[in-house]
Amino acid sequence: MKINKTFIEDLLIIEPQLFKDERGFFYESYNKKKLDKKIKIVFVQDNESKSIKGVIRGLHFQAPPFEQTKLVSCVSGNILDVAVDLRTNSKTYGKSFSIELSSENNKQLFIPRGFAHGFQVLSETAIVNYKVDNYYNSKSESGLIWNDKDLSIDWKLNIKPILSKKDLKLMSFKDLKSPF
């Protein structure tokens, strides 16, 4: 397992070691002992979504004390995964990072607490899996509007995006009073 840093502190790309042969492939998608060498984390819940091409989910976060660390992977298809740093004491506050996660590259994105997270489906369908270190709490859920001009996220759109009614009503970055 390779753990690579990004330009945003604590936001990490994890590349599992892939074993391929004529039958297919095998890899450990999660190994607590190996991850604990770099990051001490206890995941308590696994989430999975299936979405069609053009769907954007996010940018979501949970406010303290229910914030969540996430370990995101795309087990079928491919997505553009996006994280926005909302930690007010961070040098990269308000900056975003994006990466393509797919069932081909098997990369994972480790997103610590204090980030908004979202993704866009690039393939016909995609199944996204993510582990979290805190349980979902509906009263603490919030988010940022996906196309906020101040965030300047390049979603690599080539079709009209599909969003939930709830995600279309999320706040702008300017209106955020970051709880982190």
pLDDT in tens, 49-101: 999 999 999 999 999 999 999 999 999 999 999 999 999 999 999 999 999 99
Q: How many CB atoms lie within 10 A of CB 12?
A: 19
Calpha distance 133→83 (Å, rounded): 17
Per-residue model confidence as pLDDT tens digits over 130-160: 999 999 999 999 999 999 999 999 998 888 9
Catalytic residues, by residue number, are: 60, 130
pTM for the full predicted model: 0.93
Residues 6 or more apart whose CB falls under 8 angstroms from that of 110 comprise 3, 11, 12, 13, 14, 39, 69, 70, 71
Would you place residue 40 in the very low, low, confident or very high pLDDT band (cuts 50, 70, 90)?
confident
pLDDT of 111 higher than 90: yes
Q: Is 28 exposed, middle or buried (0-12, 13-18, 19+ CB in 10 A)?
A: exposed
pLDDT at residue 36 greater than cutoff 90 = no
Can you tell me the distance from the alpha carbon of 131 to that of 135, in angstroms, rounded to the nearest whole number? 10
Per-residue pLDDT, 46: 95
